[in-house]
Structure 1
Amino acid sequence: MTWTLDPQYAGGPTGKAFADLDAVFALQGKQITQDSISEVIYVRIADRGYYVKRYTAEGGWLRRLIGRPRIKGEWRNLLLFRGWGIRTAPVVGYGMERRWGAFHRGAMITEEVYGTQDLARLAANHDPRLRNPDWLRQVMRQVADATRLMHERRFAHNDLKWRNILVDDQPSPRIYMIDCPTGTFWWGPLLEHRKNKDLACLDKLGKSALSRTQRLRFYLMYTGKPRLEQEDRNRIRLVLGHMARRPHK
Structure 2
Amino acid sequence: MIDWHFNPDFRGREAERLFGTLPATFAVRGEPIAKAPLSTVERVAADGTRYYVKRYVGSGKNAFRRWFGLRGLIAPQRVVKEWENLLLFRQWGIPTATLVGWGLERAHGSFVRGALVTEEIAGTKDMGTMANDDDPRLRDRRWMAEVMRQVARYARRLHDQGFAHNDLKWRNLLVDDRATPTVYLIDCPSGGFWRGLLLRYRIVKDLACLDKVGKYRLSRTQRLRFYLDYAGHARLSAADKRRLRKILKFFAGRE
TM-score by length of 1: 0.98
Question: What residue identity is the alignment partner of 1:243?
Answer: F
Q: Distance in 2 between matches of 1:216 and 1:11?
A: 49
Q: Which residue of 1 aligns with 2:156?
A: 148
Deviation at 1:52, TM superposition (A): 0.3
Q: What is the Cα deviation at residue 10 of structure 1?
A: 2.1
Q: Work out whether 1:184 is the aligned partner of 2:192.
A: yes
SS of the residue 1:190 aligns to: helix
The one-letter code of the counterpart of 2:10 is Y
Per-residue CA shift, 1:2-36, capped at 9, x if unaligned?
10000011213111111211000001000000011
CA distance in 1 between partners of 2:53 and 2:252 (Å): 35
Give SS of 2:94's match.
coil
Residue of structure 2 equivalent to 1:49: 50
Q: Secondary structure at the match of 1:244?
A: coil
Say which is worse superposed, 139-148 or 207-216, in terms of deviation.
207-216
For residue 48 of structure 1, report the CA deviation from its aligned partner.
1.2
Partner residue of 1:33?
34
Residues 67-216 of structure 1: pairs in structure 2 closer than 5 A = 67-216=75-224
CA distance in 2, matches of 1:210, 1:76: 32
Runs of at least 5 residues in structure 2 that lack an aligned partner in the other structure: 61-65
Deviations 1:44-97 (A, max 9, x none): 112110000000012411111100000001100000000100000111110001
Letter in 2 for 1:158: N
What letter matches 1:22 in structure 2? Answer: P
Q: Letter of the 1:19 partner, please give it.
A: G
Backbone CA RMSD of aligned residues: 0.8
SS in 2 for 1:88: coil
| 3-state DSSP of counterpart to 2:70 | helix
**Alpha-carbon distance in 2 for matches of 1:239, 1:100:** 44
CA–CA distance in structure 1, aligned partners of residues 94 and 12 of structure 2: 27
* Distance (Å, rounded) in 2 between the aligned partners of 1:225 and 1:180: 28
Q: Which amino acid is the alignment partner of residue 234 of structure 2?
A: P
Residues 223-234 of structure 1 aligned to structure 2 (within 5 Å): 223-234=231-242
Alignment partners' CA distance in 2, 1:157 and 1:36: 22
User: Hey, what's the Cα distance between the residues in 1 that align with 2:17 and 2:121?
Assistant: 22
Amino acid at match of 1:11: G
Q: Is the 8 A contact 2:174 2:186 kept in 1?
A: yes
Aligned partner letter, 1:29: G
Instruction: Name 2:13's counterpart in structure 1.
Output: 12
- Does the aligned pair in 1 maintain the 2:20–2:101 contact within 8 Å? no
Q: Which residue of 1 aligns with 2:63?
A: none
Query: Which AA in structure 2 matches 1:75?
Result: W
Q: Is 1:238 the equivalent of 2:239?
A: no
Aligned residue pairs total 247
Q: What percentage of aligned pairs have identical amino acids?
A: 51
Q: Structure 2 length as normaliser, TM-score? A: 0.95
- Are the equivalent residues in 1 in contact too, given 2:164–2:199 (CA < 8 A)? yes
**SS of residue matched to 1:243:** coil
Runs of 4+ in 1 over 2 A off after TM superposition: none
Write out per-residue CA displacement over residues 151-197 of structure 1, whole angstroms, 9 at most, x where no aligned residue: 00000000000000000000000000000001000000000000000
Say which SS state the counterpart of residue 209 (structure 2) adopts.
helix
Q: Secondary structure at the match of 2:251?
A: helix
Measured in 1, the distance between the counterparts of 2:103 and 2:4 equals: 4
